[in-house]
Amino acid sequence: MLVDSHCHLEMPEFDSDRESTMVRARDAGVEFLLTIGDGGNPTAFETSLRLASQPGVATTIGLHPHQANRWSEDIRHFLIDASRDERVVAWGEIGLDYHYDFSPRDAQITAFESQVRLGFEHDLPLIIHCRKAEEDTERILAASNRPGRLNGIMHCFTGNIAFAKKMAALGFLISFSGIVTFPRAGDIREAAAKLPDDVILVETDSPYLAPVPHRGKRNEPAFVMHTATAVAGLRHTEPEEVTKMTSINFFRLFPSLKNKNA
């Protein structure tokens, strides 16, 4: 079974062909996908919930760091209410983005720290976005760490292997996107090559970051096999082995979803 551990099918890029996109994913062997719930857009979140009503799909809830300047008590209550839906299996994506800085960094930190606490209080794994913010991400997650547990996913990993190992030690799986197929992504490719089997996931982050040979096009879950194949090449193994181990890792984090792919 192949799992796309992070996609954005709620986005308008899929408004014209959302259902056929999911059919193509199934035809490509993608038997489960986690579509991300946009806590800053109730309409988009409803789309995610509708998708997660189908077999083989689940969703999440969280306020993205790009939207952190909107953090408020109203948003907090909306997220808490949304997290109680059985189709919601994780809190995210949340985190820090010091590359784009679409929200001020102090606002990002406030929203991130608050949501880390809320996710753990509601016993939901965290889906973490980290872009050029490794030091603050590690500090915040270490302060709230639940030792001995799988605490979530470092989505669309863009750090180096040293940072990946630190996050794995804090109970986070490391998810690789289409970036790992880019020849110049040396640090990311090294992490994909050298991390232990039991911490690796693959994702599309669609509609973004389409892997080679689709680079530059709209990404979609059907393309996740290209990422799995690239990871397999870096690890000198077969794509089927990466498919198997990443699926095992995903359902180890989300054991309640094992029976939802019928």
Q: Residue 166 pLDDT more than 70? A: yes
Residue 158 DSSP code: -
Bond prior to 46 in cis (omega within 30° of 0): no
Query: Is residue 195 within 8 Å of residue 167, measured between CB atoms?
Result: no
Q: What is the mean pLDDT of the chain?
A: 97
Interacting residues of 123 by C-beta distance below 8 A, sequence separation 6+: none
* Domains detected in the chain: 2-255 (3.20.20.140)
Pairing state of beta strands 126-131 and 88-97? parallel
pLDDT in tens, 233-246: 999 999 999 999 99
Instruction: Report pLDDT for 101.
Output: 97
**Confidence at 258, pLDDT banded by 50, 70, 90:** confident
157 pLDDT exceeds 70?
Answer: yes
Residue 261 confidence (pLDDT) above 70: no
Joined together, the tokens standing for residue 244 give: 């198997």
CA angle 223, 5, 101 (to 5 degrees): 95
Q: What was the pLDDT predicted at 36? A: 98
Give pLDDT tens digits for 36-66: 999 999 999 999 999 999 999 999 999 999 9
Res 259 pLDDT > 90 = no
Give the tens place of pLDDT for each residue, 108-120: 999 999 999 999 9
Residue with tokens 């490719």: 189
Whether 202 and 175 have beta carbons less than 8 Å apart is answered as yes
- Interacting residues of 16 by C-beta distance below 8 A, sequence separation 6+: none
What is the distance between the alpha carbons of residues 227 and 242, in angstroms, rounded to a whole number? 10
Enter the pTM of the model: 0.97
Cross-strand partners of 32 = 3
Q: Closest by alpha carbon to 199, among 227, 177, 170, 225?
A: 170
* Pair 54, 90: CB distance under 8 Å: no
